[in-house]
Chains A and B, each alone.
Chain A
Amino acid sequence: MTTGVLLQITQTGLALLLAPLLMGWVNICRAWLQGRSAPPLLQPYYTLQKLFHKDAVLAHDATRLFRFAPYLIFACMVLAAGIVPTLANDLPFSPAADVIALVGLFALARVFQALAAMDIGTAFGSLGARREMLVSFLAEPALLMVFFTASFISQSTELPHIVDRLAHQEFALYPSLAFAAVAFWMVSTAENARIPVDNPSTHLELTMIHEAMILEYSARHLALIEWAVALKLFTYSALGIALFLPWGIAAAGDLNALPLALLALVLKLALGGAALALLETINAKMRLFRAPEFLGTAFLLAVLGMLVHFLLEV
């Protein structure tokens, strides 16, 4: 039990530490692919440090909700990062929540983000909140479908069981997961405010979705939100790894596999980050009203994955 708790703390701490690094790595890859010189790998840490040292500026109309939201969003993301197995399987946190609860956790963070954005009453806050809700209410069902496809294989919605079934039992290829993987990528771009659904580096307030909601935040509040954004990207990457590339995650109680698991994780994240940067470089941002089509396609693919499972894998 003690080992489990220690492992759980290590894994969550690792997520906290690695998340900005992943962000920095994606930014470097993007710069390389665009043919410009890259920012330092540690730039996200510098930004966080800078933001934590600044004095927070709050709008006059801001209520306690506005100040409270960053802490809640950050806590949600830390919890999510603790639930998804990255290094070792079947940690003490894992039974606390299955994938459905995980989707709920993301939703909770999003609701408070949107509420906080509307709290100060600026045009851009409510504009961003409205668009975020449009995108997310289409993305969530598709995400759930992806999880269901994976859980049909392992007969469980708990992530440790899914990982265990895919990585630690006899090797099998599941065509249904190919459909689910594409759907998962589409949903993740929407959920993480990445191209082609949103543009994380834009300064055009009228085109923003996620950025419009956090325009009024500064200093430690902004730092927490930025960190939460990095954590969310990390958690989604870890989810993708757990569902579609779980090989290397240490089995429950297998301490000797940990160094290899760490190495595998870093390699997979580096590859995943590079792939994300590549996809962001070759894609343009789509018109906002194309997002429903895009996410509808994701939902359709996830459903197809499920059908394929019943046709080929049962």
Chain B
Amino acid sequence: MQTNIGGIELTLTPQGASPVWRFSLESARLPVFARAIRDEGGQLLALWGSDDRHLGRGYGLHALFLSSQGLIWAHCPLPADAPAYPTLDTIFPQAGRMQRATFDLLGIHAEGAVDDRKWLRHAAWREDDYPLRKDASPLPPHPSPLSQSDTYPFIRVAGEGVHEIPVGPIHAGVIEPGHFRFSVIGDKVLKLEERLGYTHKGIEKRFEGMDLPTGARLAGRVSGDSHTAYAWAYCMAVEAALGVEVPQRALWLRALFLEMERVANHLGDLGYLGNDVALSFGFAQFWRLKEEWLRLAQRLFGHRYLYDRIVPGGVTTDLADAPALLALAQRLRAEAGELKTVYDEHAGVQDRFAHTGRVEPAMAARLGLIGLAGRASSQAWDLRVQFPCAPYDRLEVNMATDRRGDVLARVEVRFAEVFEALRLITEIVRRMPAGPLRADVPQAEELREGLGYVEGWRGPVLVAVRIGADGRLDRVHPHDPSRQNWPALEVGILGNIVPDFPLINKSFNLSYSGQDL
């Protein structure tokens, strides 16, 4: 297909029937193209690199854009010697950390970047070594101790009465590790800087050479609370790459799993948000509902969090007891509705939620805030609505948005999405077609690439897959929406007080594992 974006003539190659468009361009023209996407109202969704030297090429830089026409996957070939490309972080600020991670893993340099500090590398490997290169030396079993040159230069705030509060990476509760550096006057936050990467475990490297079904298991474990989203996105990418026709019933079951995952996570978050303002009643009640939901998932599908139910070509488990699911969905709707009334009418809770941790819509658009947090700041993107894959093209999802951008807005969007997901579950169960659950996945005989995109509970989960001629995985890049939403948290906390940070953080509830990889 020929198209024109911002005066640039493009030849786009479609990926099967999905709204994913591919094209190649030289890296020098990438900023021009990115600016055109920006002017059109689009966003940068993901950015990653690949080592293509074993294919007789150099390196590759991949950028995925969200535009009104679909997902545009741009690929820039880079030379094998000193690979570099012009930075995108002045056009899309969210590119910054993705570029830094790409450099740490592959040594692909973003020229002119605003921030070129290391991001994922915590002195776990040598500075001149890039672990995601195909010829990288194997990592030592025990990382070398932190050398002096590896201290991370935080941005300092100077002035009378300003001091720093370092928090983490080890916290008082059992949560994922991340370091937060607050610059404060009294309890008022002047600046927050995040330092992540503590859960970097080399997932992308681990994918290399894996067979396709094992890859699905690993993809589902990128961020444990988004198992279904990742497993589905991975399988969608594999199926697109190999041209597999997935049976209709399997697709409807995948959507069922995804909505069940959304309900479970939103219920848990709504409980935690109550707990963070010391309303333990809300915590106990929402977690009781979540627990009932998980137990039903265990009984119906054999796993509380529906792990490994989605495989390349289809699903492994069928829905046996539809009435039980419908009954619980109906009851959850009623009980969550009652709890919403409790939250809505509780003056203390509303006082804590409202006007706390605001990300204004204009700022959200500038930073590329996406997914649930984006929708709470007027960023009306939902892959299930704009670019629905089967079966969402026949379900008509109602998108929930809010323009306030504060903790309350994110709570409201969560409630709306719980009710909508429960409605979708009812509709899916009622309208699901009969048929087989799995299709055969053919063996790849040449290099194949594909992209999977799923609107997980946190936001768009994207998995790009390249399968080698031997039928095994050559390069897999999973992308979590947390990558672009973490920087927005730094903005949301500004002007708030330190004791409100846990509440604001929880209202985003971003993944560490999903962004550290």
Please list the residues of chain A having a beta carbon within 8 angstroms of any beta carbon in chain B. Answer: 30, 33-36, 123, 127, 130-131, 195-196, 199, 201-207, 215, 280-290
Kindly identify which residue among B172, B348, B499 contacts A284, using a CB–CB cutoff of 8 Å. B348
The answer to the question of B171 belonging to the interface, with a C-beta cut-off of 8 Å to chain A, is yes
Q: Which residue of A lies closest to B498 (CB)?
A: A206
The answer to the question of B187 belonging to the interface, with a C-beta cut-off of 8 Å to chain A, is yes
Contact, CB under 8 Å: B278 / A206? no
Residues 263-299 of B, flagged 1 when their CB comes within 8 A of A and 0 if not, give 0000000000010111111011100100000000000
Kindly identify which residue among B276, B284, B351, B503 contacts A286, using a CB–CB cutoff of 8 Å. B351
- Can you list 5 A-B pairs with a CB-CB distance of less than 8 A? A33-B281, A203-B173, A206-B499, A287-B500, A289-B497
Contact, CB under 8 Å: B281 / A283? no
Q: Which residue of A lies closest to B501 (CB)?
A: A206
> How far does the alpha carbon of A288 sit from the alpha carbon of B499 in the complex, in Å?
7
Please list the residues of chain B having a beta carbon within 8 angstroms of any beta carbon in chain A. Answer: 164-167, 171-173, 186-187, 274, 276-281, 283-285, 288, 346, 348-349, 351-352, 497-503
> How far does the alpha carbon of A289 sit from the alpha carbon of B498 in the complex, in Å?
11
- Residues of chain B contacted by A34 (CB below 8 angstroms): 280-281, 283-285
Contact, CB under 8 Å: A196 / B167? no
Contact A123-B165, Cβ < 8 Å, known A196-B348, A203-B172: yes
Among A123, A203, A206, A282, max chain B CB count under 10 A is at A206
Kindly identify which residue among A33, A36, A207, A281 contacts B499, using a CB–CB cutoff of 8 Å. A207
- Residues of chain B contacted by A199 (CB below 8 angstroms): 278
Q: Give min CB distance, B267 to chain A, whole Å.
A: 15
Contact, CB under 8 Å: B348 / A206? no
Contact, CB under 8 Å: B288 / A207? no
Q: Which residue of A lies closest to B184 (CB)?
A: A127
Kindly identify which residue among B165, B288, B503 contacts A127, using a CB–CB cutoff of 8 Å. B165
Contact, CB under 8 Å: A201 / B498? no
Kindly identify which residue among A33, A201, A205, A287 contacts B352, using a CB–CB cutoff of 8 Å. A287
- Residues of chain B contacted by A290 (CB below 8 angstroms): 351
- Residues of chain B contacted by A284 (CB below 8 angstroms): 274, 277-279, 346, 348-349, 351-352
> How far does the alpha carbon of A286 sit from the alpha carbon of B349 in the complex, in Å?
8
Interface residue SS majority, chain B: helix
- Residues of chain B contacted by A123 (CB below 8 angstroms): 164-167
Contact, CB under 8 Å: A283 / B276? no
Contact, CB under 8 Å: A288 / B281? no
Contact A287-B346, Cβ < 8 Å, known A202-B278, A204-B276: no
Knowing that A196-B278, A207-B503, A284-B274 touch, tell me 8 more A-B residue pairs with CB under 8 angstroms: A130-B186, A196-B348, A202-B278, A207-B276, A281-B280, A283-B348, A284-B278, A284-B348
- Residues of chain B contacted by A127 (CB below 8 angstroms): 165, 498
Contact, CB under 8 Å: B166 / A195? no
Q: Give min CB distance, A190 to chain B, whole Å.
A: 14
Contact A286-B285, Cβ < 8 Å, known A204-B502, A206-B499: no
Among A130, A199, A207, max chain B CB count under 10 A is at A207
> How far does the alpha carbon of A34 sit from the alpha carbon of B164 in the complex, in Å?
37
- Residues of chain A contacted by B277 (CB below 8 angstroms): 284-285
> How far does the alpha carbon of A215 sit from the alpha carbon of B171 in the complex, in Å?
11
Q: Give min CB distance, A29 to chain B, whole Å.
A: 12
- Residues of chain B contacted by A281 (CB below 8 angstroms): 280-281
Q: Which residue of A lies closest to B168 (CB)?
A: A205
- Residues of chain A contacted by B278 (CB below 8 angstroms): 195-196, 199, 202, 280, 283-285
- Residues of chain A contacted by B284 (CB below 8 angstroms): 34-36
- Residues of chain A contacted by B348 (CB below 8 angstroms): 196, 283-286
- Residues of chain B contacted by A35 (CB below 8 angstroms): 281, 284-285, 288
Q: Which residue of B lies closest to A196 (CB)?
A: B348
Contact, CB under 8 Å: A207 / B346? no
Contact, CB under 8 Å: A206 / B167? yes
> How far does the alpha carbon of A272 sit from the alpha carbon of B277 in the complex, in Å?
24
Kindly identify which residue among A33, A204, A286 contacts B173, using a CB–CB cutoff of 8 Å. A204
Q: Which residue of B lies closest to A207 (CB)?
A: B499
> How far does the alpha carbon of A286 sit from the alpha carbon of B284 in the complex, in Å?
19
Q: Which residue of A lies closest to B171 (CB)?
A: A205
- Residues of chain B contacted by A283 (CB below 8 angstroms): 278-279, 348
Q: Which residue of A lies closest to B343 (CB)?
A: A284
- Residues of chain A contacted by B279 (CB below 8 angstroms): 283-285
Kindly identify which residue among B164, B171, B285, B499 contacts A287, using a CB–CB cutoff of 8 Å. B499
Among A130, A215, A288, max chain B CB count under 10 A is at A288
Contact A288-B497, Cβ < 8 Å, known A34-B284, A35-B285, A196-B348: yes
